[in-house]
A and B are shown apart, each in its own frame.
Chain A
Amino acid sequence: MTLLQTRKLSAFYGDFQALFDIEVSVDQGETIAVIGANGAGKTTFLRAVSGALPSARDAVLFDGEPIGDKSAHEIVHLGIAMVPEGRRLFPSLSVEENLLLGTHSDRTGPWTLKRVYDLFPRIYELRHLPSTALSGGQQQMTAVGRALMSNPRLLLCDELSLGLAPVVIRDIYACLGMIVAEGTTVVIVEQDINRALDASSRFYCFQEGHLALTAPTTGFDRASITAAYFGL
């Protein structure tokens, strides 16, 4: 069953067109990767799906319903949660308060404060600290936990590995596996191609706002990905 589908999705920053007729479809329970160079439109794609950037009503379908014209907070209530690029934790809030903010979507499901702490035990010990006191990896875990607290059907992850040490990245992607096992559908946006392809079953490669290539990740020739990535 298709959970997310975009149909001729275009997005603009003022007069500048950042996305051109993007067609993406994600099945329930699937993990897909969106890859591409800087400025390819990956983050813009996530912003359009999450409602942070307006798009045409029928350009984004979630569970068969058009949501392109809905605002960001309405879309969270429908079950799409975002882990934003650069974490964007709330500096005035403690770690636990940041997590609790995810409950403002009023959605119930498998993810509770306890389950998130089970997934990230280190965060539990730090829960009363201000979020700014955490290391980059711990902040990223908090950001993922905060998104999970809204019990999303679709989780959008923007650059999970940004600025993190390889060993921390490995930990976070291991946790992502457990989230997927819970039945959550995941869209990963990454510049780290190998990491993204390892974690997903299919990928979409964007190039300058256009969809350059889409294919299953297994048994695929990485040379042609490189070609699509750089537009060679």
Chain B
Amino acid sequence: MDWINILIQGGLLGGFYALFAIGLSMSFGIMRLVNIAHGDLIVLAAYVGLVVTERTGLDPFLSMILVAPIMFALGYVLQRGLLNQTLTGGLLPPLLVTFGISIIIQNGLLEVFGAYDHRLEEGAIETASLHLPGGLSIGVFPLVVFAVAVLSIASLQLLFYRTRLGRAFRAVSDDADTAELMGIDNRKLYAYALGIAMVFTAIAGVLFGIRTIFAPSAGPIRLILAFEAVIIGGLGNMWGTLIGGIVLGLAQAIGAALDPNWQILAGHLAFLAILIVRPNGLFPRTRD
């Protein structure tokens, strides 16, 4: 029974990693933007959640109603005002600029909030668990996070495959120059894409803040986890990203069960192993 428990915890943890990865997967899939600042944007969203809950007294879950539009606006402005200028010069400019943004966010947060650990208090749900027959117990909060991840990806799939905006996203991802010839304003579309990606980053950030303590320096490790989930799942495939997160979560849970020191290492090893066997990930979709 222990092992079943471990696998369930690992799988649920994977939903969390998938949530980290959605924004990254989307901005890479649509505009080939490798966003080095993605992890710091997750942490920034957690801090926005902190400010919102402190100022309004809203509970952290509800604070997303404000955090999500704030992050959408930030994503839109960031893409429109800055990242769009980097897209024509090859791979390096967006990497350098988002790396710069990463440093600015980390130091900005350090300046405003200090180096202390913060967290978002959600109350009883954080520690509540469901007891199932056979001695299994499942944490309510991880279950909620997993459900949010699945719902997020399902809603994105609906957006991509059932709406006019989603059709334009897929067309631009295929061939940006031809999309422009069909009357699509790529730069505006990219701004919407990063805006929407940041809505999911906002959700990930607030849930991250509820789950664990965070500090301004917490971003880069979230970025690596998100990257690994995206790469394991295959570029441009949202359900693949969920699977990638689950693979990562399972590997960490198994590693931790063998020896608590191995948890993080086991995730990275699983990532490297998959990279060796399937360099394009498990379910690649994006065309170059």
Which residues in A have some Cβ–Cβ distance to B below 8 Å?
50, 52, 71-73, 76-77, 82, 84, 88, 90-93, 97, 100-102, 104-106, 146, 150
Most B Cβ at <10 Å: residue of A84, A92, A146? A92
CB–CB B186/A73 < 8 A: yes
CB–CB A76/B167 < 8 A: no
CB–CB A76/B173 < 8 A: no
Give the shortest distance, in Å, between A163 (CB) and chain B (any CB): 18
Which residues in B have some Cβ–Cβ distance to A below 8 Å?
164, 167-168, 170-171, 173-175, 177-186, 287
A residues within 8 A CB of B174? 90-93
B residues within 8 A CB of A97? 167, 170
Could you list 26 examples of A-B contacts with CB < 8 Å? A50-B181, A52-B177, A52-B181, A73-B180, A73-B184, A73-B186, A76-B181, A77-B183, A90-B179, A91-B174, A91-B287, A92-B171, A92-B173, A93-B174, A97-B170, A100-B167, A101-B167, A101-B168, A101-B171, A101-B184, A104-B164, A104-B183, A104-B184, A105-B182, A105-B183, A150-B183
Give the shortest distance, in Å, between A208 (CB) and chain B (any CB): 25
Q: Which of B173, B175, B183, B185 meets A88, CB within 8 Å? A: B175
B residues within 8 A CB of A73? 180-186
User: In the complex, A50→B182 CA distance in Å?
Assistant: 10
Chain B interface mostly: helix
A residues within 8 A CB of B186? 73
Closest 9 CB pairs of A and B: A76-B183, A105-B183, A90-B174, A88-B178, A72-B180, A104-B183, A90-B171, A73-B185, A92-B170
CB–CB A84/B173 < 8 A: no
Query: Are A90 and B178 CB-contacts (below 8 A) given A73-B186, A104-B183?
Result: yes
B residues within 8 A CB of A104? 164, 168, 182-184
User: In the complex, A50→B175 CA distance in Å?
Assistant: 17
CB–CB B287/A92 < 8 A: yes
User: In the complex, A76→B67 CA distance in Å?
Assistant: 37
Residue of chain B at shortest CB distance from A71: B180
A residues within 8 A CB of B183? 73, 76-77, 102, 104-106, 150
User: In the complex, A92→B171 CA distance in Å?
Assistant: 7
User: In the complex, A50→B180 CA distance in Å?
Assistant: 10
User: In the complex, A106→B174 CA distance in Å?
Assistant: 21
User: In the complex, A72→B181 CA distance in Å?
Assistant: 6
